[in-house]
């Protein structure tokens, strides 16, 4: 058949790793870091660099899509039993919690030394909600001390909800996921227009409501991506992802940008139907992909140290983009070391894979 897509009736190749998505994940983590560098350096959000990265918070929604995809692909069947649910939750907490806790402790050091800029925030209840990964469950909620980690609290809520989502999926199929996606976006809009968030926008919602539709969209991709063969799917996927980045930079509709990200994830995953590897499955992309979580979790700490404390001692005015490039390069190198020396060993030990 010569069409762009060919329906398949045979079991597709199941890739154990989607290297191209590693590249997207690193770009997304880097994009969030660029946004926070601009915000912490007080770049103008109406023009130039500050404007170009102003909507890069949508990369977090891509993380939710990717998380739903990976989890749906890996654990959809296994969470049908109690033991399967326990194994799933243990492996997910092993994936996110050690580095989450380490970065939280890093932010606590200035408070313990008495140099915190917000000493009123360091209450027992606030610290406990951070430690238990529940701070961002309510609407509205306060940012955690490592402020990008709100998405990790929300991810944990999605992990706990995943077995129930799969019960609904086994009962009603794709209709269940479609309903959850619609309800999730409706809930997101309701929190905006009802004034339930401190900032009346998509980005003001830092609760599980924000993650539900995109997380379920990722699960939907995991259950459908291999039902069709699409010619040149990898390049369509890569082009779609780059288009999504452009749409974010141009401040296009959030729904449009997220839809294109959804398409990019589906198309890129589909490229692995025919082969377990693509031209983007290179060691450098695997390294960067593995580094993305460390980069995401450490960048606020790095920028606080280099922008708030170091920069005023070496110069005046606004931190330059050259300075940002140097700091970010150091951050990437540090993140690679963090992954290899701490994140991966801790994950393997807790999940039982080391044994």
Residue 299 inside a domain? The answer is yes
For helices 82-112 and 344-351, what crossing angle results, to 10°?
Answer: 140
Residue 206 inside a domain? The answer is no
State pLDDT tens for residues 76-123: 999 999 999 999 999 999 999 999 999 999 988 777 666 666 666 677
CB 76 within 8 A of CB 176: no
Question: Does residue 253 carry a pLDDT above 70?
Answer: yes
Average pLDDT over the chain, rounded to whole? 91
Residue 34: CB partners within 8 Å, gap ≥ 6?
A: 53, 56, 324, 328
State pLDDT tens for residues 316-325: 889 999 999 9
Percent of the chain topping pLDDT 70: 91
Q: Which of 30, 91, 22 is nearest to 60 (CA)?
A: 30
Q: Return the pLDDT at 354.
A: 55
Query: Which backbone phi and psi does 5 adopt, to 5 degrees?
Result: -125, 145
State pLDDT tens for residues 36-60: 999 999 999 999 999 999 999 999 9
Residue 95 inside a domain? The answer is yes
Residue 200 inside a domain? The answer is no
Residue 194 inside a domain? The answer is no
Beta strands in the chain (DSSP E): 5-7, 228-230
Residue 18 inside a domain? The answer is yes
In this prediction, residues 207-217 reach a mean pLDDT of 97
Question: Does residue 7 carry a pLDDT above 50?
Answer: no
pLDDT band at 302 (very low <50, low <70, confident <90, very high): very high
Query: How distant, in Å, are the alpha carbons of 20, 288, 312 from that of 233?
Result: 12, 22, 48
Give this prediction's pTM: 0.93
Residue 197 inside a domain? The answer is no
Q: Return the pLDDT at 116.
A: 61
Q: How many domains does the chain have?
A: 1
The residue range of the domain holding 132 is: 5-173+213-351
Residue 157 inside a domain? The answer is yes
């Amino acid at each position: 058949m010569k069409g762009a897509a060919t329906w398949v009736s045979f079991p597709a190749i199941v890739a154990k790793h989607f290297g191209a998505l590693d590249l997207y994940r690193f770009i997304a983590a880097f994009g969030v870091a660029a946004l926070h560098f601009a915000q912490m350096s007080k770049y103008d959000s109406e023009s130039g660099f500050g404007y170009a990265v102003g909507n890069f918070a949508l990369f977090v929604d891509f993380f939710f899509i990717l998380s739903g995809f990976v989890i749906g692909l890996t654990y959809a069947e296994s969470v049908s039993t109690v033991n399967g649910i326990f194994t799933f939750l243990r492996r997910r907490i092993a994936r996110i919690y050690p580095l989450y806790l380490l970065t939280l402790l890093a932010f606590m050091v200035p408070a313990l030394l008495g140099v915190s800029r917000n000493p009123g925030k360091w209450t027992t209840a606030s610290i406990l909600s951070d430690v238990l990964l529940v701070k961002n469950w309510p609407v509205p909620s306060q940012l955690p001390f490592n402020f990008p980690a709100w998405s990790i609290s929300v991810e944990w809520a999605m992990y706990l909800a995943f077995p129930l989502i799969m019960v609904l999926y086994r009962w009603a199929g794709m209709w269940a996921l479609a309903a959850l996606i619609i309800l999730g976006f409706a809930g997101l809009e309701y929190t905006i227009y009802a004034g339930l968030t401190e900032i009346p926008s998509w980005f003001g919602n830092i609760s599980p409501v924000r993650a539900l539709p995109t997380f379920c969209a990722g699960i939907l991709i995991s259950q459908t991506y291999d039902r069709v063969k699409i010619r040149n799917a990898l390049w369509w996927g890569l082009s779609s992802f780059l288009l999504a980045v452009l749409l974010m930079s141009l401040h296009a509709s959030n729904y449009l940008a997220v839809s294109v990200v959804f398409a990019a994830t589906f198309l890129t995953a589909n490229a692995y139907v025919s082969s377990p590897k693509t031209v983007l499955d290179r060691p450098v992309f695997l390294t960067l992909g593995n580094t993305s979580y460390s980069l995401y979790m450490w960048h606020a700490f790095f920028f606080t140290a280099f922008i708030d404390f170091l920069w005023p001692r070496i110069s005046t005015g606004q931190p330059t983009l050259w300075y940002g490039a140097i700091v970010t390069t150091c951050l990437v190198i540090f993140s690679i070391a963090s992954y290899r020396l701490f994140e991966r060993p801790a994950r393997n030990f807790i999940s039982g894979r080391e044994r």
